[in-house]
């Protein structure tokens, strides 16, 4: 990820899912 999870969830949903 390249942003805090809260922001990534909006800007980069794919990355947010990859965090799981």
CA distance 14 to 19: 9
Confidence of residue 18 (pLDDT cuts 50, 70, 90): confident
Average pLDDT over residues 1-19: 65
Q: What b/e sequence results for 1-20 when a residue is b if at least 16 CB atoms lie within 10 Å of its CB, and e otherwise?
A: eeeeeeebeeeeeeebeeee
Higher-confidence position of 4 and 17:
17
pLDDT at 16: 65
pLDDT value for 7: 62
For the entire predicted model, the pTM comes to 0.15
Q: How many Cα atoms sit within 13 Å of 3 on the Cβ side?
A: 11
Percentage of the residues of the chain whose pLDDT score is greater than 70: 15
């Amino acid at each position: 990820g390249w942003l805090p999870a809260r922001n990534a969830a909006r800007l980069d949903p794919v990355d947010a899912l990859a965090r799981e």
